[in-house]
Amino acid sequence: MPSLLAARSQMGVSLAFHIVFAVIGIAMPLMMVVAERRWQVTGHAIYLDLAKRWSRGTAILFAVGAVSGTVLSFELGLLWPGFMRFAGAIIGMPFSLEGFAFFTEAIFLGVYLYGWDRISPRAHLLAGVAVAASGAASGIFVVIANAWMNAPAGFELVNGQAANVHPIAAMATSAAFPQALHMTLAAYAATGFAVAGIHAFLLLKDPGNAFHRRALEIALIVGAPAALLQPISGDLSARHLARHQPAKLAAAEALFSTQRGAPLSLAGWPDVRARKNRFAVEIPRGLSLLASHDPDAEVQGLDAVPVEDWPNVPAVHLSFQLMVALGSYLALVALWAGWLAWRRSDLAHNRWLMRALALATPFGFVAVEAGWMVTELGRQPWVIYGVLRTRDAVTPMPGLIVPFVTFTLLYCFLGVIVVWLLYRQIIRSPTIPEWRGFYMRGGGPR
């Protein structure tokens, strides 16, 4: 395996593994805070049980995420010395701030886990809020660093080297807001629907179980609004790509020729040699409307870019289509659940909705993985778009296949352990019928 392919493969596997824990680390603390607040307001002990269970799950996932994140930080320096030599001084600030947010999250997660009955209820809840806020901030700072790679700013290029560096300007890159918004909403939607799907599956067997009904309620409170807002953030991202990364947008839509009134392609298989997107369903003028809010606007195709600067068009296109399809499914299910809740229907006894939610359990995470493939593969052959090529950033060290295989096996091992630990948390959930599911703080039934 060539060094470049081995390094990219190792980084890809590491990111694909770590991003799951990063996403859960953003959204799960919010769910445990909502559960605890519901317990404080209603006095129902079932919410306290949820908060404690979700906090233990958060701790497990946080620990594994810390391990995989540490590996990633080392990989940046060991696999990509050319990138770090050029960009270290520019993107050091968001990485430093991410480290600060990470340590803040760790400290307050410890307070939250061991602070039950040791600090006041208000202080304990605020510790949970701090965990949720710092977890979201940690993810945002990492996304800002990636956004800079897609739209570099805050420096001048002098003789191939970065000069006159302005770290704040680099963090304020044009890609920062659309990427951070899109990723944060994706984290809440993916985690919320994963938790809702697990409890919906269990409610299909026991629709009267109070524990699963309340867990479903909170999971949808977190996940459904994010899924409904995601198309809006997708619109912002598409318009940014049209202005700043037209080759990525063209690859995502398999648009081979620049044209006005460009159609929006659904599905299809890009035939790069023939310059056609075969078997696609096209919505006339749809891409021009999406990219510029003007159905007659010109959209740049791949023909405007040298062939050697093309990304892997089939991989980017299929990843983009998968992300959009799964995200649309989550948004439709969220709309359905919201409509039923507005009509005060009993969601747990609607078996078709429970089946749809159970089916959606992995969809959010798959959409996140597909979205990151669009982001990373669509930028190729550049590691810093328009500035530094990926092949010029990789280490010259031979034998990279060895760490690639080693770390892949490590991630598989960690993944099995995490699934087993979380499974034990789920199968030990209480089987409390709805009519007995509410207890006051003193222990008596309401």
The helix/strand/coil state of 161 is strand
| Residue segments in the chain with a per-residue pLDDT below the cut of 70 | 425-446
At residue 225, φ and ψ (nearest 5 deg) are -60, -35
N-terminal to C-terminal alpha carbon distance within the chain: 66
Residue 77 CA to residue 81 CA, distance in Å, equals 5
Q: Dig out the tokens for 355 from the structure.
A: 């089946």
* Element (DSSP H or E) covering residue 277: strand 276-278
Tokens of 75: 């990989």
- Count other C-beta atoms under 10 Å from residue 211's C-beta: 23
**H-state helical runs in 80-120:** 81-114
Domain ranges in the chain are 3-158+167-439
So what's the pLDDT on residue 311?
A: 93
CB count within 10 Å of CB 8 equals: 22
Helix (H, G, I), strand (E, B) or coil at 299: strand
SS3 (DSSP) at 158: strand
Output the six-digit token pair for 241. 């790509």
State residue 266's pLDDT score: 87
Are residues 365 and 310 in contact, defined by beta-carbon separation less than 8 angstroms? no
Q: Tell me the C-alpha distance between 124 and 129, whole Å.
A: 9
Left, alpha or beta for 268 (phi > 0: left; psi -120 to 50: alpha)? Answer: left
